[in-house]
A = this chain, B = another copy of it.
Amino acid sequence: MKKVITEFIGTFFLVMGAALGGGIGAALALMVMIYAGGHISGAHYNPAVSLAVWIRGKLSIGDMLGYWMSQFAGAILAAIVVANIFGVEGASNCAVPADGMIKALIAEFVGTFALAYVVLNVATAKGTAGNSFYGIAIAGTVLAMATVIGKFSGGAYNPAVAIGLIIQKTFCLSQIWIYVAGCLSGAALAAFVFRMNNPEDK
């Protein structure tokens, strides 16, 4: 139960950060919530990351589904608070132009691969156990990808963030497949690379 609460709070602040502060707001909120919640839930705040941690073997499928529900609930509440209490909504335009779908899909795939690759190595590997840098590294990856390739897809790298931004009207529902397909496949590839590179670390 405390894991579910932690994932809910962290994803709430991540999505509020993304909706009101863009890549920098999202990265800052993610960093601090990772440091606050890592010792309780692992601080995923991202269904794609939870998928990667499940493939890597550090999360049961039941816990993964619980995390997903908690993450989506946090994202939805954040979108409601941002839109209805703070009164900030997007322009209802889709984030990706009609001729930019492939670029967007690849950008989400590449960005989420980087994110899950970093998470698995800094937060679940034996070789980096006990470090103090995991929050900076993980949030730094979101900021790096938002800076470098964010313009091609809006820079979610996280299906829960995508859902939140759809509700808050910065993204549009018809493009949700980009974030589902791109993020989940990128995270899955990262998990397979991790298993290949760390066969003894189970």
Contacts and interface: CB of A to CB of B under 8 A. Distances in A.
Given A25-B144, A40-B197, A152-B86, A114 B13 contact: yes
A149 B197 contact: no
Contacts of A134: 35
Nearest to A85: B106
Contacts of A137: 31-32, 35-36, 135
Contact of A133 (B86, B107, B132): B132
Nearest to A25: B148
Interface stretch (A1-9, A67-75, A155-163): A1-9
Copies in the complex: 4
State which size class the interface on A falls in: 35 or more
Interface of A: 2, 5-6, 9, 13, 16-17, 20-21, 24-25, 28-29, 31-33, 35-40, 81, 85-87, 103, 106-107, 110, 114, 117-118, 121-122, 125, 127-128, 131-138, 140-141, 143-144, 147-149, 152, 193, 196-198
18 contacts: A13-B114, A28-B143, A31-B144, A32-B137, A32-B144, A35-B118, A35-B128, A35-B133, A35-B136, A36-B121, A36-B122, A37-B121, A39-B125, A39-B127, A85-B106, A86-B106, A86-B107, A86-B152
